[in-house]
Amino acid sequence: KAGVTQTPRYLIKTRGQQVTLSCSPISGHRSVSWYQQTPGQGLQFLFEYFSETQRNKGNFPGRFSGRQFSNSRSEMNVSTLELGDSALYLCASSLHRGLYGYTFGSGTRLTVV
């Protein structure tokens, strides 16, 4: 079965712009979580969506937002981009909100210039 699909794979944006990243989970998985990975901070939790509702949110500013659609696909949006937002953004798909594990996508590498 298909894995977790994240698009685009690479993205270059300018400071002040906004960006939308997409994640399609494994078929049947209703939970999608997002993580930011940077060399300095490592892997940090952004938010979790389950059945189209945000269930949990990490310690990130309001410029980071997300949503989940009825087909479980999820998008995350970052507005007013800053240089520090440059990172690998990873999406994780799971059954039962991760109690049995998470499957990660290949990520979207965002570079802000």
CB 31 within 8 A of CB 96: yes
- Our finding on whether 48 is near other proteins (CB under 8 A) is yes
Please state the closest distance from residue 43 (CB atom) to other proteins, in A: 4
Q: Would you say 72 or 93 has its CB closer to other proteins?
A: 93
Piece of 18-26, 68-76, 78-86, 90-98 that binds other proteins (CB under 8 A) = 90-98
- Our finding on whether 63 is near other proteins (CB under 8 A) is no
Q: Would you say 14 or 42 has its CB closer to other proteins?
A: 42
Query: At 63, phi and psi to the nearest 5?
Result: -65, -20
Please state the closest distance from residue 66 (CB atom) to other proteins, in A: 14
Please state the closest distance from residue 16 (CB atom) to other proteins, in A: 26
Prior bond of 8 cis (ω within 30°):
yes
DSSP state of 97: G
Please state the closest distance from residue 14 (CB atom) to other proteins, in A: 23
16, 36, 58, 68 from 84: Cα distances, Å? 12, 11, 17, 25
Q: Would you call 14 exposed, middle or buried from its count of C-beta atoms within 10 A (0-12, 13-18, 19+)?
A: exposed
- Our finding on whether 12 is near other proteins (CB under 8 A) is no
